[in-house]
């Protein structure tokens, strides 16, 4: 993968995050609109934003990572954003239910887990591939 392709993936991933994070907050606030506790809504908002913040931080530090690891991160970012928004949108605007908060509690740690598995796994694979072959190392490093 060329640095041009990685740059495009990175831009698309960041756009997804910067559109998705406010949308996730809007869905959270809509789902909790009947809740009178501003403190609870603020905590939920921070909780829902936490995976997006983690991904932005990872994106900032990823410039030194292998191309494969960067590509994995930049693929996880929009995919996770889309899945998160689909779930939050369904809960916020779908049929009324008693436990709307459950999705907003479970999705952030599930997102962290996915990030914590996918990115280090890609880094491990990249390291092993670069050690295996002499000619392949250029494909996975910048």
Q: Please list the rounded mean pLDDT of every run of 10 residues in the chain (142 residues).
A: 88 96 96 91 96 96 92 95 96 85 94 95 89 56 50
Q: Which domain holds residue 66?
A: 3-140
**With contact defined as beta carbons under 8 Å apart, do 20 and 52 qualify?**
yes
> Would you state the pLDDT for residue 1?
66
> Would you state the pLDDT for residue 30?
93
**With contact defined as beta carbons under 8 Å apart, do 119 and 73 qualify?**
yes
CA distance 123 to 63: 13
Q: Taking the model in full, what pTM does it have? A: 0.85
The structural domain count of the chain equals: 1
What is the torsion angle, in degrees rounded to the nearest 10, for the CA atoms of residue 76, residue 78, residue 84 and residue 89? Answer: -160
Angle at 60 between CA 84 and CA 88, to 5 degrees: 10
CA distance 111 to 141: 27
**With contact defined as beta carbons under 8 Å apart, do 78 and 13 qualify?**
yes
> Would you state the pLDDT for residue 133?
65
């Amino acid at each position: 993968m060329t640095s041009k392709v990685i740059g495009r993936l990175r831009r698309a991933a960041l756009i997804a995050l910067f559109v998705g994070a406010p949308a996730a907050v809007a869905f959270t606030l809509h789902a909790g609109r009947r809740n009178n506790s501003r403190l609870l809504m603020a905590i939920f908002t921070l909780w829902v934003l936490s995976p997006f913040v983690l991904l932005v931080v990872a994106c900032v530090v990823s410039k030194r990572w292998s191309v494969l690891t960067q590509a994995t991160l930049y693929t996880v970012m929009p995919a996770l954003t889309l899945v998160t928004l689909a779930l939050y949108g369904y809960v916020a605007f779908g049929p009324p239910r008693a436990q709307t908060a459950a999705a907003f509690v479970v999705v952030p740690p599930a997102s962290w887990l996915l990030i914590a598995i996918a990115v280090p796994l890609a880094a491990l694979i990249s390291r092993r591939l670069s050690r295996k072959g002499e000619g392949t190392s250029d494909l996975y490093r910048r």
